[in-house]
Amino acid sequence: MRRALLGVFTYVGFALVLVAWLPVLGMVALLDRGNLRRRGRWMRRFGRVSARVAPQWRFRIEGTPPADVDRRAYVVVANHQSTADPWLLSGLRWDMRWIAKASLFRAPVIGWLMKLGGDLPVVRGQGASVRAMLAEADATLAGGLSLMIFPEGTRSPDGELGRFKDGAFELAIGRGAPILPVVVHGTHRCRPKGSWWFGEAEAVAKVLPPIPTVGLTLADVPALREQVRARIAVELERLRKAPVRVIAPAPVTSGELALPAVMAAAVLTAASPGAGPGGDDAPIGSAVGPGDAIGVREG
């Protein structure tokens, strides 16, 4: 019963945050259409605010990002355990665009947010879509903005590390961008694959030292791919053996909360009995969990 009540509470909370955040990001995208950095920052704020709606989750970030992470482009790669990964990784405070499977962009509300946030869609196995995504991804790196990719291309059902695909490493070598590995651990218990409910768990994202790609060619892709996977595997095993610590999420600033909170209050008021003409209740909306990633995000 407790799990069911917490789940209902979390879904309602996510729905309110989604509904409140959509006009915020819409205004940002309208006013800063060409500013992908700012649009991405608002998406990360959405992730941090909405993650606090789930009382079952405790997130933390470990490791030290490169000093120049806000001044140069990195190809950020992470293992993919759960649909909770984007919420955890929204705690990474540098600018980047996410590559995700195209079907996620068609999901109501969350898909609209991904479009407004400047994420890149791709239809796996469709040549034209892949080529368009690669061209846009390369232009993103050339402009000094990092990319976020899940090289497994799908979520792990049990937290085990899957096989990595080549795409992220080809992009990095082609542009001479360093690889920045990030290890995700614990989110498979926060939102297990195939489940609509929320688990009570702590999860951590650990930033590892970057791996340079300057001087490498496409012939080096397999070796680079396995080098990165091995580093993530070693750290993942260490995190599994470490004592579990429960640490509250990083505080959300009042500025991040202020405008969405006002909008959420307006939504609640409009949805209460007696509000509006005739006193009819108004539907608030529904929650859709963030999705996956193909060397990318998948759902």
Note the pLDDT tens digit of each residue in 12-70: 877 888 788 778 878 877 887 778 888 888 888 888 887 777 777 788 999 999 999 99
Mean pLDDT of all residues in 174-195: 86
Give the pair of three-digit tokens for residue 20. Answer: 């409140």
At 265, the amino acid letter reads A
| pLDDT reported for residue 270 | 32
Bridge partners of 77? 149, 181
User: Taking all residues of the chain, what is their mean pLDDT, rounded to a whole number?
Assistant: 78
Residue 57 CA to residue 53 CA, distance in Å, equals 9
Give the pair of three-digit tokens for residue 118. Answer: 């400047």
Comparison of pLDDT for 91 and 276, the residue scoring more = 91
| Secondary structure class of 216 (helix, strand, coil) | coil
| pLDDT reported for residue 289 | 31
Which DSSP helix (H) or strand (E) runs through 291?
none
Of 115, 118, 116, 107, nearest to 83 by C-alpha is 107
| pLDDT reported for residue 243 | 60
| pLDDT reported for residue 242 | 76
146-149 and 75-78 strand pairing: parallel
pLDDT bracket for residue 139 (50, 70, 90): very high
Q: Do 137 and 192 contact (CB within 8 A), yes or no? A: no
Residue 112 has pLDDT above 50, yes or no: yes
Mean pLDDT of all residues in 78-92: 90
Of 120, 147, 143, 216, nearest to 176 by C-alpha is 216
Bridge partners of 241? none
pLDDT bracket for residue 144 (50, 70, 90): very high
| pLDDT reported for residue 241 | 84
Residue 279 has pLDDT above 60, yes or no: no
pTM of the full predicted structure? 0.76
Lowest mean pLDDT of 13-22, 131-140, 156-165, 231-240, name the range: 13-22
Residue 201 has pLDDT above 80, yes or no: no
